Chains A and B, each alone.
Chain A
């Protein structure tokens, strides 16, 4: 009964510690580590713990099999978790990074994405008159009406067709996207069937080098340039809006209007003006909010999948670590009993076993994170967002590696505590007699 209560108490301790650990910022973890180091350096109990740990770590090589199980098990958990989270973050970062507070996008009311929206020429003219729109030196409003269509293109190195986003834009569009740069060739000329392709699209699809000709929507287009923007536009092909509209028979309509505002503060007035115009049924959003919403669903799904897989794997790893540490403690039970017989207290023994486990866990976490960083950082993948392909890069950020290490240490803590307590509570006399 007493044993059961102790175990229950330990279980509660683990749960509480894990909850506290998940909300702990990295500075708190550093403080904990410093406190532990100070305790080990300055107090008698700490020095005892240090020497017991040294013995434990010194004999690790004799238990190479079971120690490597802990290390590799935890490396697996951290690796898979970090890789999945890096995928989600990379996707979200790609889609969001183009968003700004001082540009707004206007779609027809109720439309979730650009391809669902339709704006007539009259709508576009009315939007141009709204207050808060920045004007260029000549006094022209900085507004770009745009049209996106899904165009069929061949994927590089395969026989599969995929949907690329073909965007038709006005001449003003370049000024509305200040971070975008032409990296090869030149911009398209209005009135010609010329294409400028994003560098992601160029990598993904066949026949999009400068000078190539591609057939899109019954017409032949000449690729005249490549641009880099570092966001979702990188996956697109750009051309003159009138040309795209005539190739895809969209008449004079547009799907979205991108607007440069005089400043981030002008958005509220701009939105209100559009809402109060009875002739217009449109909705305005800052591009920051719009792009964030576009990536929300898929990024959330990837995160949920990553965490679910991570939790299940972590459960397996905790029990693996428990198993190995119980075996380690059992193998050293005589040695531990001897230490206690000559006056070492229980506390240092607990700390030493815990430290040993956490050390192995940390090693595993570092290994897993390192492998993922080497293999996946900057890895390019593509997925379907709405109807068209989006290219994005995995992003193994330091914050993600820290998350992975936190998981590793948590697994080490949960897997080390019970064996540590058993080691400290073993009756000295029985343990000494044990074979």
Chain B
């Protein structure tokens, strides 16, 4: 540590060159931070929070309805702690572009999602209000909805019987938050009573689109899923039960292989960065050949010269990388807000910082090693005489 000053001075020996290199490194790590945040945002669904929940939908197709009566039979399966149901609604607000993720849910649906918090008094009002709806905080912000508002929502699927058109009216009675900021994507949802939906739905009634099942012991989730599927086997409404993680993962996999795209872009970026900083380090050390020889002359060991040059490379990468990731920390909240909830990113995750720092050190060592090696092997007499 006592040589830090020396390493720092060597790094900024040529200010403009180091500055230019640093900007390149910053750009690379900004990109890394952004892409990794997006990747995490899209894979956040596999977190443990969903453990112990099963999603049961029709085996034929996700849009295919299931009878509402199936719920009671699922509840009687051993190992099932609770059952709730939900229906697609396909809501849009004012303009077809403003899609609202909205579900008609059974009364106890909310209890299965302890990661969402709704104040108790709002919950009580919701239970009493027939056309009441609770909305996520992010969704409420997006459209400026407040508790007490009466909002018209068009369903792209279901006409309403009372209005004779596709417009449904809801009273907003509660706003819920996600307890974990990483799951803020869930604050984009809106939920209302299945009973209101079912009575008003012009297309028949008594159906739900999926059941959420809480299992008593997550370790037995697969066995419970099999027994649930067995209930309806060979009927005209066969089900498929799977854990929530598996359900979400299948969606993300189909959407696009985000991990692969991110990895290939980052591969291209870091390969280029390696060349660029490697080249700069080579130049920097070549210029200082005589200085390094002087260091050795006054008694620095070959090993400490190697360590110092290596440390210089790592310092350069860590400096640039830290600035880059810090910039991302500033950008990301704005990005999450600007995308209108399309990209549920809010903060740079700890794992992004961790892999970022690992990358900085790794690249620093890789680019520092050849010049450091050269510096270590330097012959004092040759170097001082400029040979």
Query: A152 touching B60 by the CB < 8 A rule?
Result: yes
When each residue 253-282 of chain B gets 1 if its CB lies under 8 Å from chain A and 0 otherwise, what string results? 111100000000100110111011001101
- For B59, list chain A residues within 8 Å (CB): 152
When each residue 197-223 of chain B gets 1 if its CB lies under 8 Å from chain A and 0 otherwise, what string results? 000000100000000000000000000
List which B46-65 residues lie within 8 A (CB) of chain A. 59-64
Our pick among A69, A118, A387 for the contact of B62 (Cβ within 8 Å) is A387
Closest to A316 in B: B27
Q: Give Cα distance in the complex from A63 to B15, angstroms.
A: 22
Shortest distance between the CB of A215 and any CB in chain B (Å) = 10
Q: Which of B17-25, B141-149, B172-180, B349-357 has 4 or more CB atoms under 8 Å from chain A? A: B17-25
Query: B61 touching A149 by the CB < 8 A rule?
Result: yes
Query: B23 touching A315 by the CB < 8 A rule?
Result: yes
Closest to A296 in B: B97
A73 interfacial contact with B, CB 8 Å? yes
Query: B156 touching A110 by the CB < 8 A rule?
Result: yes
A265 interfacial contact with B, CB 8 Å? no
- For A115, list chain B residues within 8 Å (CB): 63
Shortest distance between the CB of A255 and any CB in chain B (Å) = 11
Closest to A66 in B: B279
B231 interfacial contact with A, CB 8 Å? no
Shortest distance between the CB of A404 and any CB in chain B (Å) = 13
B342 interfacial contact with A, CB 8 Å? yes
- For A326, list chain B residues within 8 Å (CB): 16-17, 20
- For A218, list chain B residues within 8 Å (CB): 60, 236, 238
Q: Give Cα distance in the complex from A101 to B155, angstroms.
A: 29
B385 interfacial contact with A, CB 8 Å? no
Question: Quick one: given A112-B156, A327-B283, are A315 and B27 in contact (CB under 8 Å)?
Answer: yes
Shortest distance between the CB of A164 and any CB in chain B (Å) = 10
Q: Which of A30-38, A155-163, A225-233 has 4 or more CB atoms under 8 Å from chain B? A: A155-163
Q: Give Cα distance in the complex from A109 to B96, angstroms.
A: 11
Shortest distance between the CB of A241 and any CB in chain B (Å) = 16
- For B342, list chain A residues within 8 Å (CB): 301
List which A142-161 residues lie within 8 A (CB) of chain B. 149-152, 160-161
Closest to B251 in A: A384
When each residue 164-183 of chain B gets 1 if its CB lies under 8 Å from chain A and 0 otherwise, what string results? 01100000000000000000
- For B60, list chain A residues within 8 Å (CB): 149, 151-152, 216-218, 248
Q: Give Cα distance in the complex from A66 to B271, angstroms.
A: 14
Question: Quick one: given A150-B61, A218-B238, A323-B17, are A112 and B96 in contact (CB under 8 Å)?
Answer: yes
Closest to B65 in A: A249
Q: Give Cα distance in the complex from A160 to B247, angstroms.
A: 11
Give the contact-size bracket for chain B.
Answer: 35 or more
Shortest distance between the CB of B348 and any CB in chain A (Å) = 16
B250 interfacial contact with A, CB 8 Å? yes
Query: B157 touching A163 by the CB < 8 A rule?
Result: no
Q: Give Cα distance in the complex from A152 to B63, angstroms.
A: 11
A104 interfacial contact with B, CB 8 Å? no
Query: A309 touching B31 by the CB < 8 A rule?
Result: yes
Q: Give Cα distance in the complex from A72 to B206, angstroms.
A: 63
B243 interfacial contact with A, CB 8 Å? no
B28 interfacial contact with A, CB 8 Å? yes
Query: A118 touching B24 by the CB < 8 A rule?
Result: no
Query: B27 touching A323 by the CB < 8 A rule?
Result: no
Our pick among A68, A152, A382 for the contact of B61 (Cβ within 8 Å) is A152
- For B253, list chain A residues within 8 Å (CB): 160
Give the contact-size bracket for chain A.
Answer: 35 or more
Q: Give Cα distance in the complex from A116 to B34, angstroms.
A: 34
Q: Give Cα distance in the complex from A161 to B57, angstroms.
A: 14
Shortest distance between the CB of A110 and any CB in chain B (Å) = 5
Query: B24 touching A319 by the CB < 8 A rule?
Result: yes
Query: B17 touching A316 by the CB < 8 A rule?
Result: no
When each residue 48-73 of chain A gets 1 if its CB lies under 8 Å from chain B and 0 otherwise, what string results? 00000000000000000110110011
Our pick among A113, A162, A249, A319 for the contact of B236 (Cβ within 8 Å) is A249
A129 interfacial contact with B, CB 8 Å? no
A111 interfacial contact with B, CB 8 Å? yes
Q: Give Cα distance in the complex from A72 to B265, angstroms.
A: 14
When each residue 230-251 of chain B gets 1 if its CB lies under 8 Å from chain A and 0 otherwise, what string results? 0000001010100000000011
- For B20, list chain A residues within 8 Å (CB): 319-320, 322-323, 326
- For B17, list chain A residues within 8 Å (CB): 323, 326-327
Query: A65 touching B279 by the CB < 8 A rule?
Result: yes
- For B251, list chain A residues within 8 Å (CB): 384
- For B256, list chain A residues within 8 Å (CB): 381, 383-384
Q: Which of A69, A163, A324 has the most CB of B within 10 A?
A: A69
- For B23, list chain A residues within 8 Å (CB): 315-316, 319
Closest to A323 in B: B20
- For B203, list chain A residues within 8 Å (CB): 118
- For A109, list chain B residues within 8 Å (CB): 166
Query: B90 touching A116 by the CB < 8 A rule?
Result: yes
Our pick among A113, A249, A313 for the contact of B27 (Cβ within 8 Å) is A313
Shortest distance between the CB of B257 and any CB in chain A (Å) = 8
- For A313, list chain B residues within 8 Å (CB): 27, 31, 269
- For A76, list chain B residues within 8 Å (CB): 268-269, 271-272
A79 interfacial contact with B, CB 8 Å? yes
Question: Quick one: given A110-B96, A116-B90, A313-B31, are A72 and B272 in contact (CB under 8 Å)?
Answer: yes
Shortest distance between the CB of A199 and any CB in chain B (Å) = 19
Shortest distance between the CB of A66 and any CB in chain B (Å) = 5
When each residue 79-110 of chain B gets 1 if its CB lies under 8 Å from chain A and 0 otherwise, what string results? 00000000000101000100000000000000
Query: B156 touching A73 by the CB < 8 A rule?
Result: no
Q: Give Cα distance in the complex from A319 to B254, angstroms.
A: 38
Q: Give Cα distance in the complex from A323 to B281, angstroms.
A: 12
- For B133, list chain A residues within 8 Å (CB): none
Q: Give Cα distance in the complex from A162 to B238, angstroms.
A: 17
A421 interfacial contact with B, CB 8 Å? no
Q: Which of B30, B62, B92, B156 has the most CB of A within 10 A?
A: B156
A374 interfacial contact with B, CB 8 Å? no
B154 interfacial contact with A, CB 8 Å? yes
When each residue 305-319 of chain A gets 1 if its CB lies under 8 Å from chain B and 0 otherwise, what string results? 000110011011101
Query: B61 touching A316 by the CB < 8 A rule?
Result: no
Q: Give Cα distance in the complex from A309 to B269, angstroms.
A: 10
Closest to B270 in A: A76
Closest to A415 in B: B20
- For A112, list chain B residues within 8 Å (CB): 92, 96, 156
Shortest distance between the CB of A256 and any CB in chain B (Å) = 13
* Given A69-B276, A383-B256, 18 additional A-B pairs, CB 8 A: A69-B272, A76-B271, A109-B166, A110-B96, A111-B157, A112-B156, A116-B90, A118-B203, A149-B61, A150-B61, A216-B60, A218-B236, A248-B64, A312-B30, A313-B27, A316-B23, A319-B20, A322-B20
13 example contacts (A-B, Cβ-Cβ < 8 A) are as follows A65-B282, A66-B279, A76-B268, A76-B271, A111-B156, A116-B157, A149-B61, A152-B60, A162-B250, A312-B34, A320-B276, A327-B17, A384-B254
Interface residue ranges, A against B (CB under 8 Å):
65-66, 68-69, 72-73, 76, 79-80, 109-113, 115-116, 118, 149-152, 160-163, 216-218, 248-249, 281, 301, 308-309, 312-313, 315-317, 319-320, 322-324, 326-327, 381-384, 387, 389
Interface residue ranges, B against A (CB under 8 Å):
16-17, 20-21, 23-25, 27-28, 30-31, 34-35, 59-64, 90, 92, 96, 154, 156-157, 165-166, 203, 236, 238, 240, 250-251, 253-256, 265, 268-269, 271-273, 275-276, 279-280, 282-283, 342
